[in-house]
Structure 1
């Protein structure tokens, strides 16, 4: 009889374990669907959008080696500098929209979007002298005259281009917070095809050179912006877009402060790579060093666009669950995100090891540049692997509104560890460009370890309370109760 009871207990215990395992698998599946619903469109849009910049570099690289270095200097230093500021400041929109959607305050999302447009437009206009006086800036920091002149000319072409960031960055965050960013994926894929077509026509068929490459970049980038406007203003976001409103000008100071803390966080991360390119420009053969280093960085950044898809998913899922007040769901989502992203990172790591030595031929026929890129392929592979980890952690921080803390982490890890170590290894030893890259990896590794500890030790119940306080501080009445809503609704 005892044996029979014990057997029944074992069977019951096994059944309970199977039920728990089945329930866990179901939860993982449901969470994965939510993650991919945000991350896949974001990946497609970011890969395609950044791909237009990489494709432009490829076309310019087959025109002239000096112009390749000049374009690399502008794109990696100036454009990345400005993009870092705007992307960082726009992440405030991501936090606020995500938490508002989770809390059922959809009408506030359109107001947050308009506030971000105002802040970003003013910020970018203030930064325009960086493009206008690029030649003098490059010469002042010690770059070669021929590369500085080429970079200064190309920099002027980028002025109308960078204004698209004001809208594309913020709109993507606004749409993905409400799980409507598939339209961005469709538009970005179309943008990529249009860009390749126009580049081939203008550069190869019409022999327009640099102007042809840059005009195709401008046309394709603003195609995306116009498509986004049509989608929002056309009535496909009825709950979150109620038309332009003067309420967007209210509470601007808290919004600016939040945007600045967000901006500093991501700026310190993106400028880190830009400064490393600047260090490469002081090498003995600056033209080769800049071209090779920027090719590797652009390949790394292109793959990083996939990771940014998971960053967006991390932000949305964490922000949504914090807005709903569910701390346990936040922690579970982080675990699933981390496992998924790391698995994909391992795949790209292997691909870079296999094909890393042949990738440079996509951008140039210069044997010196190809050999330098080949030497960096192993380090590129490890950078790609790290790409699958720390963006998730940054996305969690953005979703929780912890940008200020991460900004301090980025400052210490990148600027007190990575850059000094890279400069030391690059100039004191014989490693040169390899040394700079090793320093970069060490800075990223330090940041990754610190963020893992920070996220692991976070009290998510406390973060739920903070999210509730933040939403209450920014909250305005809905349209039916708001007399400031103006008539021109779309």
Structure 2
């Protein structure tokens, strides 16, 4: 009987004789003895498990981080309509530095992810420190910019009362700039090593802390918008301190974190140049939707437009965070596989993550449409605002579906190091097509918020189609070679050179 079993085993492909957890994705995809459909099925089983193991905690991290801003808006909305408008404008303006820091942090994601896949562990800690220094230096001029937020908002044509309240709210957020500088680099350092659960737990604790303290400052201490902003800043610093302690005291990072090093001060300018493309790519994406809020302040009945659009965008952001979780997961997967020299696995990861996120986004859009008449009451009790939100929900549904694809493709771009190219695509689609068309429809043809949103959806659709085409046409063997060259160029043994 043993002979029969042994003979039977010899007739089966090697990859099917082992548990899937012990079989590499590249081995499955490259096994010519398996039928194509069988390879795709086994590959999907492996990849989906890996993606969800990374994406679910990452989704929680981004949902919680976004939820901190949304909860601040909810508390502001229950103070009054002008307070909600002020907090919405304040958060939209502050997304400038959020996008800048998050974008520059994605350079760490590319380098750390590919270095980890190539087993060059010693450079991860150096990249982390180098990026933190660069981001902190970039944060210095941003503090000056936000100090003068009141005259800048007036210059942009926002209502005087709302601008003044928003400037007070922004003042309370200024210390948050340097929390971002540490948080995003530490977050990418952990993600590159597929360590995401601790960040999720820390973020969840920060959200609970923020909600509790905000309730006290608003309803007990009566500190209003300043109290809301101050607690939001404190919560972000709680995340930073907790993540820093976790990295510096945990033995699991003994190969990737060797302590503070003077090597991190080498090549700061070169690192800044490399991360600038990442910053532009992410910033242009994050600012795109926030410009919608700023333009809404110039429409007829700006308070109603701002309130309805900010609620829709808050819902969109919650959905977007799911896609951002897959963005982080696919970035880790593609960068790790490219660093390890596995082109088939990198390609398979890219398309699997895109497909899964797309299906989820359709379900989210349908759920949102089913609750369109009631969902706004989470944020406000105003009936007029609820009606305006309901009318905008079809536009929101289309946005949610597009956001199920576009961020994941951006994650592939980060994993491959295409940030500069995608930045040019974003400029063309968003700022040459989307916003001008939206302004023409909204102001010239008087379609108001619906017109602005229609133009911006057009820009997002155009960008998504371009990224789909570029990903489809990618030579993944060439990307493996590019990853190897990039790691050699950024090897700390010599000063990096620009190409």
Q: TM exceeds 0.5?
A: yes
- The 5 A counterparts of 1:116-131 are 116-131=131-146
Give how far 1:17 is off: 9.9
Q: Do the aligned partners of 2:434 and 2:458 also contact (CA within 8 Å) in 1?
A: yes
The question of 1:51 aligning with 2:72 is answered no
Give how far 1:34 is off: 1.4
Structure 1 residues 201-210 or 186-195, which shifts more? 201-210
Q: Do the aligned partners of 1:322 and 1:467 also contact (CA within 8 Å) in 2?
A: yes
The question of 1:351 aligning with 2:367 is answered yes
Q: Name 1:394's counterpart in structure 2.
A: 410
Aligned residues between the structures = 464
Tell me the distance in 2 between the aligned counterparts of 1:20 and 1:385.
30
1:402-442 Cα deviation digits (max 9, x unpaired):
11110110000001110011101111223200111111111
Q: 1:217 aligns with which of 228, 232, 248?
A: 232
Structure 1 residues 342-351 or 359-368, which shifts more? 359-368
Q: Do the aligned partners of 2:173 and 2:230 also contact (CA within 8 Å) in 1?
A: no
Give how far 1:173 is off: 0.9
The question of 1:381 aligning with 2:397 is answered yes
Q: Name 2:80's counterpart in structure 1.
A: 64
Give how far 1:323 is off: 0.3
Q: 2:458 aligns with which of 439, 442, 447?
A: 442
Tell me the distance in 1 between the aligned counterparts of 2:39 and 2:409.
26
Q: Do the aligned partners of 2:108 and 2:188 also contact (CA within 8 Å) in 1?
A: yes
Tell me the distance in 2 between the aligned counterparts of 1:21 and 1:411.
40
The question of 1:91 aligning with 2:117 is answered no
The question of 1:318 aligning with 2:342 is answered no
Q: Name 1:288's counterpart in structure 2.
A: 304
Q: Name 1:79's counterpart in structure 2.
A: 94
Structure 1 residues 29-38 or 50-59, which shifts more? 29-38
Flag as ranges the 4+ runs of structure 1 deviating above 4 A: 15-23
Q: Name 2:246's counterpart in structure 1.
A: 231
Q: Name 1:140's counterpart in structure 2.
A: 155
Tell me the distance in 1 between the aligned counterparts of 2:488 and 2:119.
12
- Segments of structure 2 that go 5 or more residues without pairing to the other structure are 1-11, 17-31, 495-499
Q: Name 1:328's counterpart in structure 2.
A: 344
Give how far 1:161 is off: 2.1
TM-score by length of 1: 0.91
Give how far 1:254 is off: 2.2
Give how far 1:476 is off: 2.6
Tell me the distance in 2 between the aligned counterparts of 1:407 and 1:19.
40
Give how far 1:280 is off: 1.1
Give how far 1:457 is off: 0.9
Q: 1:275 aligns with which of 291, 316, 327?
A: 291
Give how far 1:201 is off: 2.3
Q: Name 2:492's counterpart in structure 1.
A: 476
Q: Name 1:7's counterpart in structure 2.
A: none
Tell me the distance in 2 between the aligned counterparts of 1:352 and 1:438.
18
Q: Do the aligned partners of 2:168 and 2:226 also contact (CA within 8 Å) in 1?
A: no
Q: Do the aligned partners of 1:79 and 1:162 also contact (CA within 8 Å) in 2?
A: no
Q: 1:104 aligns with which of 114, 119, 122?
A: 119
Q: 1:256 aligns with which of 267, 272, 275?
A: 272
Question: Partner of 1:62: helix, strand, or coil?
Answer: helix
Give how far 1:306 is off: 1.0
Question: Partner of 1:458: helix, strand, or coil?
Answer: coil
1:147-181 Cα deviation digits (max 9, x unpaired):
11111111101101232111221111110110112
Structure 1 residues 413-422 or 124-133, which shifts more? 124-133
Q: Name 1:244's counterpart in structure 2.
A: 260
The question of 1:189 aligning with 2:196 is answered no
TM-score by length of 2: 0.90
Tell me the distance in 2 between the aligned counterparts of 1:212 and 1:137.
23
Tell me the distance in 1 between the aligned counterparts of 2:53 and 2:263.
31
Tell me the distance in 2 between the aligned counterparts of 1:45 and 1:317.
18
Q: Do the aligned partners of 1:357 and 1:377 also contact (CA within 8 Å) in 2?
A: no
Q: Name 1:464's counterpart in structure 2.
A: 480
Question: Partner of 2:372: helix, strand, or coil?
Answer: helix
Tell me the distance in 2 between the aligned counterparts of 1:346 and 1:181.
26
Question: Partner of 2:474: helix, strand, or coil?
Answer: coil
Structure 1 residues 292-301 or 99-108, which shifts more? 292-301
Structure 1 residues 105-114 or 122-131, which shifts more? 122-131
Q: Do the aligned partners of 2:331 and 2:414 also contact (CA within 8 Å) in 1?
A: yes
Q: Do the aligned partners of 2:173 and 2:232 also contact (CA within 8 Å) in 1?
A: no
Q: Do the aligned partners of 2:319 and 2:361 also contact (CA within 8 Å) in 1?
A: no
